Structure formats: structure tokens, C-alpha cells
Amino acid sequence: MSQGTRKIQYVKGVGEKRAALFARLGVETVDDLIHFYPRAYKDWSRVQKISEVLPGETACIKATCIQEIHDFTSAKSGIKVFSTRVSDNEQIMEITIFNNAFAASKLKFGEDYLFYGKVDGNLYEKKMVNPEIEAYHPDSAIKPIYPLTGGLSSNIVAKVMKNALESMEPVVEPFPQGLIDTYALMDEWQAICNIHFPENAAKLAAAKRRLIFDELLYLQLGLLSMKAHTAISQSPQIKTDYSLEFEGYLPYTLTNAQKKVISEATADLMARTPMSRLVQGDVGSGKTAVAMSLMYTLAKNGMQSAMMAPTEILAQQHYESICATLDKAGITTVLLTGSMSAAAKRKVKQSIQDGSAQIIIGTHALLQGDVDFQNLALVIADEQHRFGVKQRTELAKKGENVNLLVMSATPIPRTLALFMYGELDISVLDEMPQGRQSIDTYVVTSAYRQRIYSFIKKEVDAGRQAYIVCPLIEEGESELIGATEYAQKLKEGALKGYRIGILHGKMKGSEKEAVMRRFKDGEIDILVATTVIEVGIDVPNATVMLIENAERFGLSALHQLRWRIGRGAHRSYCILLSDNESEKSMQRLSVMKHSHDGFYIADEDLKLRGPGDFFGERQHGLVNLKIANLLTDMDTLKETGDAARRILTADPLLQAQKYSGLKDGVQTFFREQRLGVN
């Protein structure tokens, strides 16, 4: 057993109970532990004078205790309060400690201490409340702060980390010396030690740079290898382009953007190597028409296409849309979903196998082992972030070097798209079809609530429908009203007498689909929902969307939600309700009020919130980076991209001995991300 694979429970200071706590953080082996990086640091090595620190700043101050501890019990709260005064020989500062006799007992008259915390008061009378306190030592260090779980403190994690590092042999350097020299990188073991226990600020910066470089290089080597592997494969090639003929069956004219993307993708289909293309477009930009054109061309060339949608109701919607256009062209389209009867499934599967089905639309049911295609040439994954690389790859394996088209209705800044979909070529639909209306968007406070309800009633009375979106599911999750309780209050109060439905993420898939189907069929007037409607079905009759606590949503999520309305002929209205008066919240919601451009909104969202919040927890296929940050590390991303291309040009399979460490690193990285790489 290698030292890295040793179970963490055998590290000094852990044991079985503590190992279970570490497991909650995803740390089970020594290797997991040493790559469990601090989320922040407290710099006890940078000691400041009291006079140097402005009120509101956090600092580490060296001072002498010049007063015995005074304590009293607050008559109002019953809390024990300890206070003293300290001096750095230039200025005096008051120290107050609440309800912590142990911390107060550390302070002895005439002794020197380090006080770490936020400085309050004013320029002349400064104070610290509940600071961290240590006896002064000239070699005080930069201390790590780790992500935690109940039962583990940062001090405990740091002690365990120190024990693990001291018991290990230095890890073998995975990079060839030439790479280290070219990019002036700290060596791996030194970087690991300094990321946890920095010798100084300069070495901490060097350690961060090296480990960020590691992560981004492994990512880019893997993505470029996947792309290179595709490039040497031979795909089913079409002989004739039927995209112009397809346009004759449409009741509308394609946009120039649609024509451009169809041309790019059709050129891929006529090439020798398989297509791997992302079509990225705002909601309503016409991605389905692009997909239809390609599937039509393939069908006319005697080949099959499969489109996978994330839900049955979306698959049904695609099926109906495609049939309405292509039935008259003599193209046979079938639908395969999990809820179909066994007999219906058998009939569809037989048509797929014998080739009489030319276009196959379905859900995860397409991945079943007994679904055999006669001549599958194209796989289309709709709403890619709902699937992931693994599932689209599984479907593609049902043919030989199948062409792949990924469709995403989530506008992503181009730098992120290149990063997330590095193995795909990218096409952008940046033009809206004619007739797609803008949506009137308003930002209001709860003072307008009754007027909003009256407006919703007016729209419903006119035969329209409405969405009300809540950020929470059940009562008690926070001070905000959850969707279930809110819906009940509406039924009994402001919207009594109207047919109100509810939709949330804890419902079973079949329950969600049943509710959405009833809403689409007009059996529900007002749908109270969480963000599960973000990627939903077309309900042209829905004209109003009220989003409660709008500041709680990301701009991209708000944009996706807003486009659930405005899909019919009637004027539509999105009302963003927020009582949060912070400047940042107002700035974000103002972006929504003044723009309908998903790409602009995505860029603003990224600037305002950062990539973690932008995508949410492991969404949109984004890899789970441990230390790199897409906003702050773009320069390193470019460096590692250049390095990866040079390395793979010299050795496409990383077969040279000097690249063995890199190859292992890539495979480990992609295994942890649950992504396949050759």
C-alpha cells in the first residue's frame, strides 16, 4: 500500500470516530488529506501597531497587558464579561471577552501577547471584542483555516495535517524538470507543505501558484487528449447536405445565426472525424430547429439520430415539435420514455433496431442495454448540464464513432465555455427569431404585494396563467416562507378561488411531470414553484411570473426563469420582489430589469458572484476544482493551455518516461471528477 492510499484513521490524532468526521468532508485517505486545502489563512506573522490599524480592519497586534482582568455579569443578558487594557508602548487598546473564562485566564499582567481580530472603536480609542489570543512568540506563523464539519475545528485539522506530513516521505515530483524551469514552479512537495503551513507569504503565494498550475494543467491535458482521440476516429459521413431542403418545411424563416450554426455542424457531419460541438444559445434562440435540420439531413442520408432530453415532458415536447415539422417530409420519428407501457416500448425498440425509426427522441430510457440502433450517426444531448459527460458518452457508444451535438440554453461566458467544454467546438446562437417578444421586468418591494396579487388575478381572469417562484421548499428552512406554506396561504387568502398548483424539487419525477402537464393543459391557473421550472416546458398561455426574494437567485437563474413566460402572443410580465436594500442586490436586479441578453447577464453574474455561485453545486458539468478559481486564475489557465498543447504535440499519448507523472496526474484528476479520459 502506498503512503497516499493509507486510511486517515491511522494518522496520529485521528482514530475511527474522527475519521468518520473527516469522511463527511470527502477525506478518507492520506492523499485526500494532504490535498484538502485551507479555504483561508490568518496571518499571525504580520504584526501591526495599534495606531496602524483603522477601525473595521482585522489585524494581529502585539501588546502588553497593562491591567488586571476585570469581570462582571451583565444584568441585561446574564453574560459574564471580562475586560482589560493592553498597550504597544504607543497606544492603548481595550480588550473585551464575552462568556469565556478560559480565554480571559490566559491574560497576565505585564506579559506580551498577540491579539488577532477585528479592531473597533475610533482612531483614538480602539478595542477588540473576543480576539484570538496567543502568548507572543517572534516566530508566529501564517495559520490555515480549513472547511469544517461539526466536531472538527481548524486547529484539529491542522494538527492532524502536521502529523500526516511529518510521517510521510516527500511525494515524487510528477512534472519533468523542463516544465518546472520553464514556468518557474515550486516543487510539488514544497508546495504541499507550504499550502498548509506557509513559511512566509512569498512561499504561500508560490505554493498556491504551483498547485493551481497542477490542477489546470491536468484538466487541459485531459480535455485536449479527448479531443485528439476524437480527431483520429472515423465517423459515419454524410454524402449530401439537405439543410436547404429542410428549410422548405418550416413555417418560418431561420435566423442568420441558425443558418451559420447549421452550416458549421453540417460541415462536421461531412468530415471524416466525428463532430463534437456545443451549440450554445439563449432561451428561445432556436436550438431545436438547428437539431432538426441536422437530423433531417442524416435521415435523408440513411442514418439515425437520437436526442436525449432531461425529462419526459420535455422529450414529449421535442417529439411533438419534430413530428409537426418532419412528418410531412416522410421522416419517421419515435419517442421512448420510462413511463411507456412494456408493449409500446417493445414496438419502439424494434423500430430503432430495424432502422424504420430515423429520429429517436427519449429520456434516460435511451441508455438501456436493450436499446439497439441499426445505424446511429448523431447523438444530441439537450440541456447538457442535466446529464453530464458520462451519460452522453454512454449513448454515443451505441454507435460507431458517433457525432455529438450538445445543446445548452444556459448562456455561459466564452472563457468558461472553453474551460468547461474544452473537448467540444463551440457554436453560438446570438440572434433571436422574429416575433419573440421582450418581457416587461419590474423590481419592487413587498409594499406592492397586494397590487401584484390583484394584477395576477386580472391576468388569470382574462384567461392567462401565472408562475410564482420561491427560493425555498418547506417552512422552517429559514425566515423566508417556503413554497408549500406560501401556496396554502394563497389558497386561503389573496388568491382564494383560483386553481393553485405546487412544484418543488423534493417531489418525485412523475409527480413533477404530472403537475407541469396539468399546468400546460390549463388545469392550473397559478403554479407556485421552486427553480425546478428553470428548464421546463413551453406554456404559451403563462404571462406573469412573480419571483419572491429575487436577491436569493443568481442572475443566470433569474434569466432562465423569466423566459418561462413570453412564449406566446400575449404581453408578459416578470416581477422581481425583494426587500433587500443592499447596493449589490440592487445592482444585480437592475441588470435584470434593463437587459434580456443572456450572455451579457451571464457575464455580469460571473463578475458579481464568481464561478462557484454562478454554477451552484456541481452543476452544468463544471469540474470540482479544489484550489483554482476561474475568475482570478485566467492567466494560469492560458499558461497551462499553452503548456498542454506543447506537451501533447511532442508526445500525444504521454508515453515518454518523463511524462509518466503527468499521465498519472491526469488520470487521477479525471477519475475524481468521474469523467472518462483515454
Q: How many angstroms separate the CA atoms of 221 and 348, rounded?
A: 41
Residue 301, in any domain of the structure = yes
Residue among 235, 256, 254 at smallest CA distance from 245: 254
Average pLDDT over residues 469-479: 58
Q: How many angstroms separate the CA atoms of 577 and 154, rounded?
A: 39
Residues 110 and 217 in one domain: no
- Of the candidate ranges 282-296, 393-407, 576-590, the one whose mean pLDDT is the lowest: 393-407
Helix axes 287-300, 312-326, angle to 10 degrees: 60
Residues 389 and 519 in one domain: no
Residue 153, in any domain of the structure = no
Residue 59, in any domain of the structure = yes
Comparing 292 with 3, which gets the higher pLDDT? 292
Q: What are the Cα distances from residue 273, in Å, to 238, 403, 442? A: 12, 8, 49
Q: What is the reported pLDDT for 599?
A: 77
Residues 450 and 539 in one domain: yes
**How, if at all, do strands 542-547 and 573-577 pair?**
parallel
Q: How many angstroms separate the CA atoms of 42 and 153, rounded?
A: 14
Residue 380, in any domain of the structure = yes
The position carrying cell 481580530 is 117
Helix axes 583-594, 555-562, angle to 10 degrees: 30
Q: How many angstroms separate the CA atoms of 528 and 523, rounded?
A: 14
Residues 249 and 313 in one domain: yes
Is the pLDDT at 532 greater than 80? The verdict is: no
Q: Which residues contact 671 (CB under 8 A, 6 or more apart)?
A: none
Range of the domain at 193: 189-232+633-678
Name, of 216-220, 348-352, 587-591, the range with top average pLDDT.
348-352
Residues 458 and 521 in one domain: yes
Task: Enumerate the β-bridge partners of residue 501.
Answer: 527
- Counting the structural domains of the chain, the total is 4
Q: Which residues contact 310 (CB under 8 A, 6 or more apart)?
A: 363, 382, 383, 386, 387, 535
Q: What is the reported pLDDT for 483?
A: 78
Burial of 581 (0-12, 13-18, 19+ CB in 10 A): exposed
Q: Nearest-5° angle of CA 378, CA 380, CA 386?
A: 150
Residues 201 and 122 in one domain: no
Residue 86, in any domain of the structure = yes
Mean pLDDT of the chain: 86
What burial letters (b/e) apply to 133-143, b meaning 16+ CB within 10 Å?
Answer: beeeeeebebb
Query: Cα 202 to the chain's mean position, in Å?
Result: 31
Average pLDDT over residues 589-609: 80
Residues 444 and 374 in one domain: no
**How, if at all, do strands 80-87 and 58-65 pair?**
antiparallel
Give 474's pLDDT tier (boundaries 50, 70, 90): very low
Give SS3 for 10.
helix
State the DSSP code for 37: -
Residues 335 and 292 in one domain: yes
Residue 209, in any domain of the structure = yes
Whether the pTM exceeds 0.85: the reply is no
- Of the candidate ranges 303-317, 345-359, 455-469, 597-611, the one whose mean pLDDT is the lowest: 597-611
Residues 529 and 638 in one domain: no
What burial letters (b/e) apply to 53-76, b meaning 16+ CB within 10 Å?
Answer: beeeeebbbbbebeeebeeeeeee
328-353 pLDDT, tens digit per residue, is 999 999 999 988 999 999 999 999 99
418-465 pLDDT, tens digit per residue, is 656 666 788 888 887 776 677 899 999 999 999 999 999 999 999 999
Q: What is the reported pLDDT for 230?
A: 58
Is the pLDDT at 674 greater than 60? The verdict is: no
86-119 pLDDT, tens digit per residue, is 999 999 999 999 989 888 888 999 999 999 999 9
Q: What is the reported pLDDT for 232?
A: 58
355-411 pLDDT, tens digit per residue, is 999 999 998 888 888 999 999 999 998 764 454 556 666 777 788 888 889 888 776
What is the separation, in whole angstroms, between the first and last Cα of the chain?
25
Residues 526 and 377 in one domain: no
Q: How many angstroms separate the CA atoms of 509 and 430, rounded?
A: 32
CATH number of the domain to which 573 belongs: 3.40.50.300
Domain's final residue, options 565, 595, 625? 595
Residue 17, in any domain of the structure = no
Domain's final residue, options 140, 165, 180? 140
Domain's final residue, options 407, 429, 451? 429
Give SS3 for 42.
strand
Q: Which residues contact 461 (CB under 8 A, 6 or more apart)?
A: none
Give 126's pLDDT tier (boundaries 50, 70, 90): very high
Give SS3 for 629.
coil
On the CB side of 44, how many CA atoms lie within 13 Å of its CA? 22
Write out the E strands in 234-322. 276-281, 304-308
Q: In sequence order, what DSSP letters do the residues of 328-377 get, joined into one string?
A: GGT--EEEE-TTS-HHHHHHHHHHHHHT---EEEESGGGGSTT---SSEE
- Of the candidate ranges 303-312, 357-366, 533-542, the one whose mean pLDDT is the lowest: 533-542
Q: What are the Cα distances from residue 564, in Å, to 80, 468, 542? A: 55, 11, 8
148-185 pLDDT, tens digit per residue, is 888 899 889 999 999 999 999 999 999 999 999 999 99
Average pLDDT over residues 608-633: 58
Residue 34, in any domain of the structure = no
Residues 461 and 561 in one domain: yes
Comparing 534 with 48, which gets the higher pLDDT? 48
Residues 587 and 453 in one domain: yes
Average pLDDT over residues 564-581: 89
Q: How many angstroms separate the CA atoms of 470 and 492, rounded?
A: 18
The position carrying cell 432538426 is 292
Q: In sequence order, what DSSP letters do the residues of 132-166 get, joined into one string?
A: EEEE--TT--EEEE----TT--HHHHHHHHHHHHH
Residue among 168, 48, 197 at smallest CA distance from 116: 48
* CB neighbours of residue 200 within 10 Å: 14
244-261 pLDDT, tens digit per residue, is 999 999 988 999 999 999
CATH number of the domain to which 83 belongs: 2.40.50.140
Q: What is the reported pLDDT for 615?
A: 43
Average pLDDT over residues 478-483: 59
Q: What is the reported pLDDT for 470?
A: 86
Residue among 95, 100, 99 at smallest CA distance from 84: 95
Give 612's pLDDT tier (boundaries 50, 70, 90): very low
